[in-house]
Structure 1
């Protein structure tokens, strides 16, 4: 006998109010288990909501433009037993959606905005690019946000959720300068991002600039490009918009320095090709060797496997080795994270790298697969170039850029011999890492890539 069951939004890494950007099915469609029902787009990636069981779509509870949270009902699916697919086990009740969301369930009426208490409530996990907790009383903040008497009176406190307050604090934004677009003037993340963009473009001036601090920039030049010839206006993807704001913040707030070096990978490349011939079902790229070498270097220089805390006064040293890999997709750059790289061999890393890169290009990465990185690698070797300056992916303190390898004559003490040399570009946060340590790091990395036996030490 047919049964109508609910398909709900699964665990999406603690994110809430994630926009629905695409519906992948219509009423009457027959779907298989794990088939995509809708596409969501968070701040970091797009992801699909899979069908938890096979059946026929009888009703869609969401539409494009709605926002949903974990547990929200996406669709009603008629499960026809053996004819369509074995019914899945009864799922535990999912948490109720946030009040005011547009998931199709009857939302609770949103309360009228009320002044918030003088002290800030405990912040929930920020939905921004970096996870952080609010600073405790008396704790230094980085960057500091000045508050006058007017801004801390109950009637003047900006109307924003704890998560938005944490997000604004990470960007150094005074919420009293931000105009909220939500109901009752509520400030959302998009309002904070719009304010940062306006400051970067010169359209708005931060309050700190009047006192000599902040970014006191000239206005962005306004040009009528159509005067000079034919033009086309093309909107940026959501991922590029979000990543653009993050990159601008990282570049402006982190004192970047880039150390360049070269690694002799002649023997490594010969070994890689032999390994590929022996394992034809697995694509083995130079990137997996870089991951293992990076882990060895992070072990030897633990200050690179670290992050500054929100006070800017303590260094959090990590005992795990999760490596972020920059992946170029049609919608923009994303950085999925491969976890526990110290416990995996070259073949296992090759398989996982291929799978996660495919998911990134097919927009199937979840937020959990984009978080927790210790150190990032950006490889342009398949495209070209001799060197570049990658931007540190906060809250990490360093990132490795790799360009195209080339044959070069290298003096061995007696004669010049052809060697395959790989350019390395290490950008680092100079607040945490000194130039001498960066030079030692890249030098050791080159030694490991030049002689893989060092990985056994």
Structure 2
């Protein structure tokens, strides 16, 4: 005798709602316990929701694009009678177990402080790393036998947005290293063992193994960027090897075959490249498809397409008749001396993001000027008055304050596209491009509307220093609403800054200079600053952009207007 069992969304961690981006089963399909049913995605991760029981799908209760949360019914499953009777408590127990294993590290029992006597052994673990469930170890900076001090860097880890160093919580001698290059670690993961030296050592948190294991399985949030010998993951794929990233995965469209065995991050990676995973052969454990398998498939597809076309080595783009030439291979050494220098990690990461943003966002740039003669005089005066306090007022601080006022007047600029919806934000987090030895990074100043100009100047200076030292936390680069890219200290007149998705606009600022301005009777020298506003033409039209830039210029010309 069979019964119907409702399969529900289990505990999904800190997310209140997630979007359904794939339906992996259809009515009539037979599923096994732990088989993936749907793929859901938040703004930080994608994950598959498995079935708690085996049975036959009788009805689906959700569709693509639906928002679900813990307890939402996914489908009805026809199961054997004895299984159905046990399913509810088993499912509840599983959810309870998941909830316990994912409880915050500061909850009772999640970690325990281990007092360490002088000369004893202490375990050094990964501290809070922000919103990332896992990050990859790209460098091990110490070895067994090394002596380290408190705050000495032990390893370097990298996410898809930043790299950071993990410091030591104790001083001592390294007796064992628990990680290696390529490992994935999370908050609470063991880094190494130290033999402590000196006086009583501080307590060190040791994460429970179950918690570390659960964190590693929660959600794969990162797509690795290719090394120099891999294909360009933003390359155009010939149409005959491409499927639409927004293609429907409705139940009626699903063939009656086994679904490709791949993790959520690999599925997302394949969708971004337009690859049908059904065509990819998995080389991982139990024929699981890896990111390298996807890359190899794309490379083979491109090679095959190139070999069947003319010797011009061009690739057709859609059905437009246009073509993109293959990247030229040149032996530069035959023309003169050369030096090969690998790109920094930041440039690899930002390069892929910039390419995506430039290709996918229809950029338009509005150029204008602002008279900052009085504002510069005020800035110089304030710096002189606050010379002893150590506060240094920068033009960027005033620009940030003026931008916030402009965003309040023109809320379309403080927004993001989410499918066919425009998300208008009620908070004001301003990103600013910071020049570092390894490339540009964008720290984010949170709640700029609630801070004074002196606080903005102080905090932007601190964030810029962290950026130069490579010590920005991931949370300090997230949540931006609008970005400012300033070349004021370098030069230039105008430029086209690339929008930082998912934002819809970015302001470029160049070096100010004195120009003769007609005051009605004569020309007088005025300090003029160029403003270059790039905007997403899908959201903002030219007239609105011109009004925004003109209004911003009026605020900078007479800063008293900011108070209105």
Same fold (TM over 0.5): yes
Q: Given the superposition, is the C-alpha separation of residues 142 and 437 from structure 1 closer, same or farther in structure 2, using an over 3 Å criterion?
A: farther
Q: Tell me if structure 2 keeps the 8 A contact 1:47–1:365.
A: yes
Q: Deviations over 1:34-54 (max 9, x none)?
A: 332211122221211122234
How far, CA to CA, are the matches of 2:341 and 2:252 in structure 1?
42
Is structure 2 residue 265 aligned with structure 1 residue 163? yes
Secondary structure in structure 1 of the residue aligned to 2:377: helix
Deviation at 1:277, TM superposition (A): 1.4
Match of 2:466 among 359, 364, 368: 359
Deviation at 1:213, TM superposition (A): 7.4
Deviation at 1:152, TM superposition (A): 4.7
Deviation at 1:13, TM superposition (A): 2.5
Is structure 2 residue 303 aligned with structure 1 residue 188? no
Higher Cα Rg, which structure: 2
Structure 1 unaligned regions, length at least 5: 102-107, 109-122, 130-140
Q: Tell me if structure 2 keeps the 8 A contact 1:181–1:188.
A: no
Q: Which residue of 2 aligns with 1:388?
A: 495
Match of 2:401 among 286, 292, 304: 292
How far, CA to CA, are the matches of 1:297 and 1:92 in structure 2?
46
Q: Given the superposition, is the C-alpha separation of residues 404 and 75 from structure 1 closer, same or farther in structure 2, using an over 3 Å criterion?
A: same
Deviation at 1:338, TM superposition (A): 1.0
Q: Which residue of 1 aligns with 2:561?
A: 454
TM-score by length of structure 1 reads 0.80
Q: Which residue of 2 aligns with 1:132?
A: none
Is structure 2 residue 135 aligned with structure 1 residue 18? yes
Structure 2 unaligned regions, length at least 5: 1-116, 225-242, 310-314
Deviation at 1:303, TM superposition (A): 0.6
Equivalences for 1:198-347 in 2 at 5 Å? 212=319, 217-280=324-387, 281-309=390-418, 311=419, 313-347=420-454
Q: Tell me if structure 2 keeps the 8 A contact 1:145–1:173.
A: no
How far, CA to CA, are the matches of 1:153 and 1:90 in structure 2?
50
Q: Could you say which structure has the greater relative contact order, defined with CA pairs below 8 angstroms and 6 or more residues apart?
A: 1
Q: Given the superposition, is the C-alpha separation of residues 400 and 363 from structure 1 closer, same or farther in structure 2, using an over 3 Å criterion?
A: same
Q: Indicate the structure with greater strand content.
A: 2
Q: Given the superposition, is the C-alpha separation of residues 390 and 359 from structure 1 closer, same or farther in structure 2, using an over 3 Å criterion?
A: same
Q: Which residue of 1 aligns with 2:528?
A: 421
Q: Which residue of 2 aligns with 1:174?
A: 275
Moved more, 313-322 or 281-290: 281-290
How far, CA to CA, are the matches of 2:471 and 2:347 in structure 1?
17
How far, CA to CA, are the matches of 1:393 and 1:203 in structure 2?
33
Deviation at 1:276, TM superposition (A): 1.2
Moved more, 154-163 or 418-427: 154-163
Q: Deviations over 1:279-298 (max 9, x none)?
A: 23123221111111111111
Deviation at 1:407, TM superposition (A): 0.4
RMSD, matched Cα: 3.6
TM-score by length of structure 2 reads 0.66
How far, CA to CA, are the matches of 2:161 and 2:484 in structure 1?
17
Q: Tell me if structure 2 keeps the 8 A contact 1:180–1:188.
A: no
Match of 1:61 among 141, 159, 178: 178
Q: Deviations over 1:338-395 (max 9, x none)?
A: 1011111111111111111111111111211111110011111111100100000100
